[in-house]
Amino acid sequence: MPELPEVETSRAGIEPHLQGVKITRLVVRQPQLRWPIPADLAANLEGQRVQAVCRRGKYILIAVNGGAALLHLGMSGSVRILPRGTPAGKHDHVDLELESGQMLRLTDPRRFGALLWQPEGELHPLLASLGPEPLSEAFDAEYLLRCCKGRRSAIKALIMDSHVVVGVGNIYANEALYMAGIDPRRAAGRISAERLARLVEAIKSVLTRAIAQGGTTLRDFVGGDGKPGYFSQQLHVYGRAGEPCPGCGARLQEVRLAQRSTVYCKLCQK
């Protein structure tokens, strides 16, 4: 599943091709994604000039006069910039045609993605309860300490809760907890303020570096597969169960937390 750095890379990849450009036509081949594409979406988008291409959590917002289209890539979705009229494949469900002669194409083999509408001045229900962005000033040590107070749930589950903070998916939660030296199974309410401060910095660091690395794949959004590369070259623990810990050499352990694979070092993470 695309995580926040991959979604941000996608947003940055399509932004130069959409910003300030008029949308001429919306082509919907498959309206049944995770939720039905609104029947009036074409009326809201066609003839409008794109004012901004933003991100909130894992949603890309394409803002026009009157509102914004909300795009979610789901489990396996991707976006590409292609010449208008490029033949569509089996899983190419939506095209956003542009006056520039290009188009934005949404490809989603599993159809878990979404394309929805948020009227201007309103907040879509899917965005209303989201926590702060992890790279924003609102997500700091004091905020995380308040969220953890009295909580018995595992710290990994808490930082992956989008109501607490958005976009810290499984890959980057594993990595940040390793960097901060915190056992992912530890009860959130039993972690000191000092250690939580280290965790906040680790989350910001790993996401910032992942986004920077993803930026090297921006060329793929024009005629390529539209899928940014993951942060695999610098992963310390994720996907490395049974291998030596990069820090101490002990064998990395794997457990399931909230039905997700969790890899950690029993010596380095307490």
Catalytic residues: 2-3, 58, 260
Helix axis angle for 193-214 and 141-148, nearest 10°, is: 120
Torsion of CA 135, 136, 137, 142, to 10 degrees: -70
Cα–Cα dist 115/192, whole Å: 41
Q: Which amino acid is at 72?
A: H
Interacting residues of 259 by C-beta distance below 8 A, sequence separation 6+: none
- Whether residue 124 is annotated as binding a ligand: the answer is no
- Whether residue 34 is annotated as binding a ligand: the answer is no
Q: Which amino acid is at 95?
A: D
CA within 13 Å, CB half, 246: 11
DSSP state, residue 165: S
- Whether residue 195 is annotated as binding a ligand: the answer is no
DSSP string, 240-252: -TTSBPTTT-PBP
Tokens representing 46 are 């066609």
Q: Which residues are annotated as a binding site for DNA?
A: 91, 110, 151
Q: Which residues are annotated as a binding site?
A: 91, 110, 151
